[in-house]
Amino acid sequence: MGARKIIMWTLLAMLITGGVLIIYFLTSTNSMGGVIDMFFGISRVYEVNDIKEFDPGSIRKIEISVSSTDTNLRMVDSPKVKASLTGIVRTNDPSFVPYIEAHVTGSTLRIKVKTKSSFFSGLYSSNVSMELEIPQSFSGDLVLDGTSSRLTASELRFNSCSFTTSSGDIILGSIDVDSAFTAGVTSGRVEVERLEAASARLTASSGDTFLGVIELRDDFSADSTSGKIIIDRLSAANASLKNSSGNKKIAVMTVPGEVIIEGNSGTTTLDRISAGKLVINSTSGDVNTGSAHSGHTTIKTTSGRISVKSFEGDADLSSSSGSITLVCDKPASTIQIECSSGSINLGLPDGTQFSLNAQINSGSIKTDFALDQSSASKKQLQGSTGNGELDISLKTTSGNIKITKI
């Protein structure tokens, strides 16, 4: 009994002590700074207001390196490059207060946000950001590398641009680039309202990609390990979109060359696309196109439905598990559709002249077209209309086949 009383009194003492500490926090520490003071010594508030200016002169390239500092870029009607680091830092170690280190080497201006100490044993809180003003007359190259930083910019015009950040968003307005544009995040999203450039490459390990109007003279690529890829309008010579997990949606795409779209998991939606060649590979996810004009289109899914409407060109469509619907406005010379488990629905204009080879293992075959020469069995239908210039091959292991007039 005595031992129980000792334990009870000990617990009661601990509760009282904890309550006293909580009251002390509430009465004597009204900010994170007070907690820092209690556990890590006396902290101070440091106002950061570091400004560096440079005459662009012979500068052809600007390199920016920031850490834990949100950065905004803008072009101004000014004769100088100006970097302004402002904000508040609370710390018990003044060597951890950030400042700007900047210098010119050859034709390159390097701007870096640094601290005097690279190792910090205490805690600190900060609200610091950098504003970079670049003269409108500057037409060289821009490179920004950030760590735990958010980048915002608009109305930029350079020879080339490269933006990367390990953790943080990249939010861009209107960007004009004479040559190459690149943007990449490890964790965060990429948003570009409008981009005009020779070429563009965008990457995101974990995060969504949202693009507005993208107009390129050469190639475009967007890669995401985990995240959506959404594009309003894309014009490029060739295009590649890849993601392991996430939906892909493009409203309008005009690519005279080749378009390659790949994904392991997620829906692919193309509202209107015109391409010399279209290739879509999906492991798991539906593929839907509202209007597709392509010299040759190949769509393959392991698990997912395929729906292609208002189609022009040759088609090679296959699905291991999922139905396939193809509505052709102007078929070219070849249509090949195959699925292991799922129905096939093919729509053709009235008067289309084709040769047909349709095969099933389980299901039915129906057509609105009268075949001039036909050979039918329970599992196969062969025949042709007119000169049979369009070669059609349809095959499903389990499902129906239906050919309709549109």
On the question of pLDDT at 360 being above 90, the answer is: yes
Mean pLDDT (whole number) for 197-215:
95
Does 302 lie in the same domain as 205? no
CA distance readout (Å), 274 to 155, 216, 239: 29, 15, 12
Of all residues in the chain, what percent are helix, strand and coil, respectively (each to 5)?
10, 65, 25
CA distance 262 to 264: 7
| Residue-wise pLDDT tens digits, 86-116 | 999 888 788 888 999 999 999 999 999 998 7
Band (33; pLDDT cuts 50, 70, 90): very low
Same-domain status, 95 and 165: no
Is residue 28 over pLDDT 80? no
Domain limit, last residue, from 115, 145, 175 = 145
Query: What is the distance between the alpha carbons of residues 219 and 308, in angstroms, rounded to a whole number?
Result: 25
The answer to whether residues 346 and 382 belong to one domain is yes
pLDDT digits (tens, 9 = 90+) for 210-247: 999 999 999 999 999 989 999 999 999 999 999 988 99
**Distance (Å, rounded) from C-alpha 62 to C-alpha 401?**
61
pLDDT, the chain, mean: 89
**What is the DSSP secondary-structure string of 208-247?**
-EEEEEEEESSEEEEEEEES-EEEEEEE-SEEEEEEEES-
Q: Grade residue 32 by pLDDT with cuts at 50, 70 and 90.
A: very low
Q: Are residues 404 and 321 in the same domain?
A: yes
pLDDT score of 8 more than 90 = no
- Flag the least confident range among 65-74, 85-94, 157-166, 340-349: 85-94
Q: How confident is the model at residue 29 (pLDDT cuts 50, 70, 90)?
A: very low
Q: Rg (Cα) of the chain, in Å, rounded?
A: 31
pTM beyond 0.85: no
Tokens of 109: 């201006």
On whether both 123 and 43 belong to a single domain, the answer is yes
Distance from C-alpha of 110 to C-alpha of 129, rounded to nearest angstrom: 17
Instruction: Give the domain range for residue 338.
Output: 273-406
Q: What is the pLDDT of residues 150-180, one digit of tens each?
A: 999 999 999 999 999 998 999 999 999 999 9
What is the bridge-based pairing of β-strands 380-384 and 373-376?
antiparallel
> Is 26's pLDDT higher than 60?
no
User: Residue 16 in 3-state DSSP?
Assistant: helix
The predicted pLDDT at position 25 comes to 45
Query: Which amino acid, 402?
Result: K
Q: Is 184 a domain residue?
A: yes
Q: Residue 166: inside a domain, yes or no? A: yes
Asked if 304 and 395 sit in the same domain, the reply is yes
Is residue 22 assigned to a domain?
A: no
Distance separating alpha carbons of residues 187 and 295, to the nearest angstrom: 38
Name the token pair of 172: 């861009």
The first and second tokens of residue 230, run together, are: 């959404």
Distance between CA atoms of residues 237 and 283, nearest Å: 26
Tell which wins on pLDDT, 278 or 6. Answer: 278
Best CA proximity match to 256, nearest among 291, 288, 216, 289 = 216
Percent of the chain with pLDDT over 90: 72
Average pLDDT (1-18) is 66
What is the separation of C-alpha 172 from the centre of its chain, rounded to a whole number of angstroms?
13
Count, in order, helices (H) and strands (E) of the chain: 2, 32
- For residue 42, pLDDT over 70 is answered with no
- The count of domains in the chain is 3
